[in-house]
Structure 1
């Protein structure tokens, strides 16, 4: 009798935790819609005139992407992993973290949109940095890495290290601006933050949770651990790739090339082993795996001096690289993992429409630049980019609308996070 009561109470508590995760997953989808809308507006401003400051909107778009979409979803995945054993205190703190992240995100969206890098925007950006500290502390204090010993935890540890390390970028940037350092030094500080957020924290975390979700019976061999750690460690010197625009020296190209090759080698070893042994991945995950591989190959090509100089001279290639990571790999992984954990629901048609749009958009960013090298130019490219980009907020809105009333209370899927 007592065991039945305890079991029922535990089931009810898990249901409450799951409901909380679902609630903030809907917020994440709403943020994804706002983010896609802002991206489409940026493309519109490149074609038509509106009384909107393009740079202000660009800063608002990027800060909102990092905080309201990618950081929030990753923290939700950690929360879902921990939810069966979270104490009341940790539950309360995670809810506070989610609410604060959303509040700061919309604050930055508005402040950057209207004022750019002014006092309020800087204060809110600093608050977000401290929110990342809070999230990291919660994960470490909760005993996540002691209770869950999947080999992919190596990537999640690396992700948190990169998250904390990325915060040095804003501090150094503030110092450089206060001391009047040249613009190139300030740009390097910004790239430091971007690299350790995107290629470090976000990509390592997404791959880590992907492996935990689909690679259930992996053996923790010393050899595999080596490749996991190499994927993490090679991320650090890969920052040199972002310095090539400013310091295109032989040593910088060599450092970038070695780091990029090691990064790609580690990924390919993990990928091939994953494909051989894992549960069959979904369409979204399959597309994400291709995108990650292409991104890492791109990094190796940039290490070749002529190709590197050509890539950094093209704004569309740089934008394409960033969106290959954010739209090509992170977004499909996030949508798939939240669906697998019953936090949201998706449909095969909608997922395929999303990835078809992403492929079309990336193709319009990469292919015309390559063709231009041979004197071939695509007419009305800006209009094509805007039209394609405009589909993304529509699809994001459909994801949101089909989840507003979604509730999954039976057979709650915890397999995403069980060793």
Structure 2
């Protein structure tokens, strides 16, 4: 029998490890460390996306759609094979960067994701395939598969054109876009719709069709934001703006539905789960606004020339939107305890790091006054995140009540 709590503890373990790496990356600007910064960045990003979020999401999806499909042995074997690839990346990237062993484990991980996608699409019971939530999850899984074109392309591009080629950067951006905005975001929407279905909250077919269309066309078109750094033809800006507006339209529909059903949701979800979802919703609203602003030529040029703005945005989506929404769902399914003090420390660390990274970018972009010892304060804020995530991880090994 599959222990979902054990699987989620492993996911949280990865979350703690990336918090440790985050502190190490911040300390580079303060003290000398005997590690290669670029290699650690690779490790940090891979374990964040492929360890914490991937394991957390796929565990929820198996629980919601596959637990009665009779493939528990196959899934368990796949789960542990996937962990071997993640651990392999974790112990190869810091020492070699992109080299034989890290590329081998990354490739094996991609193959494992294809197997998961196959299991999900083939073995989900037919009665669940008619659900609106399944339709969202299904397209999210396809976005996961689609995103893998990026890593496959990187190897060929490096061999032929080198890592200074615009196509090299665009391949990475393609991967990140369809991971963040496709796989992660749409899967989280699907899980939310599954909760709707569990509590008999219905969405009219016509409304769902409109939401589904706006969301997914928006996902496809907003990829063009990722290539605006090349200052392409005006058509690409128009497509990026259209995609951003479509996503705002889609999530406006979803927000209205949540507001309409707030009493039903409030009566069935814990106050903590609701609070976390509200925070994730706020982060989503900011993300959508930033996405639209970044679709215009002037702001696109400013953002592409300011690395800290890009880092701030990626962390906002990962730490604020995706991670908080994922924690809220894990708490809803009673798989994890969430101490409120630890969450408060997490939010404080998140807010402080976001402010400092954004301000550091603004210092160079707008010649704002320099903050003294900003690297030290960024390191301190990262320590707050580590304390919070470490606390969340450690508390899962104690007996507790869910509330």
What TM-score do you get using the length of structure 1 for normalisation? 0.88
Q: Distance in 2 between matches of 1:375 and 1:84?
A: 54
Q: Mapping of 1:408-419 within 5 angstroms?
A: none
Q: Mapping of 1:263-342 within 5 angstroms?
A: 263-278=247-262, 279-280=265-266, 282-342=274-334
CA contact (8 A) 1:200 1:235 kept: yes
Picking from 49, 52, 55, the partner of 1:66 is 49
Deviation at 1:224, TM superposition (A): 2.6
Q: What stretches of structure 2 of length at least 5 have no aligned partner?
A: 267-272
Q: Mapping of 1:4-403 within 5 angstroms?
A: 16-17=1-2, 20-82=3-65, 84-87=67-70, 90-144=71-125, 146-147=127-128, 149-180=130-161, 183-213=165-195, 216=199, 217-278=201-262, 279-280=265-266, 282-370=274-362, 373=366, 375-403=368-396
Q: Distance in 2 between matches of 1:292 and 1:126?
A: 31
1:342–1:145: structure 2 CA closer, same or farther, 3 Å change rule?
farther
Q: Distance in 2 between matches of 1:229 and 1:42?
A: 40
Comparing 46-55 with 136-145, greater Cα deviation is found at: 136-145
Q: Distance in 2 between matches of 1:363 and 1:283?
A: 22
CA contact (8 A) 1:163 1:200 kept: yes
Deviation at 1:179, TM superposition (A): 2.1
1:219–1:254: structure 2 CA closer, same or farther, 3 Å change rule?
closer
User: 3-state DSSP class of the match of 1:303?
Assistant: coil
Q: Distance in 2 between matches of 1:123 and 1:375?
A: 45
Deviation at 1:144, TM superposition (A): 4.9
Q: Distance in 2 between matches of 1:36 and 1:375?
A: 29
Q: RCO greater where, 1 or 2, for CA within 8 Å and sep 6 or more?
A: 1
Comparing 55-64 with 170-179, greater Cα deviation is found at: 170-179
User: 3-state DSSP class of the match of 1:401?
Assistant: helix
Q: What stretches of structure 1 of length at least 5 have no aligned partner?
A: 1-15, 414-419
Comparing 54-63 with 243-252, greater Cα deviation is found at: 243-252
Deviation at 1:54, TM superposition (A): 0.3
- Which residue matches 2:270? none
CA contact (8 A) 1:145 1:153 kept: no
Aligned length: 391
Q: Give the RMSD, CA atoms, in angstroms.
A: 2.1
For residues 381-419 of structure 1, give each alpha carbon's deviation from its aligned partner in whole angstroms, at most 9, with x where no partner exists: 2211111011111111111111114488xx9x9xxxxxx
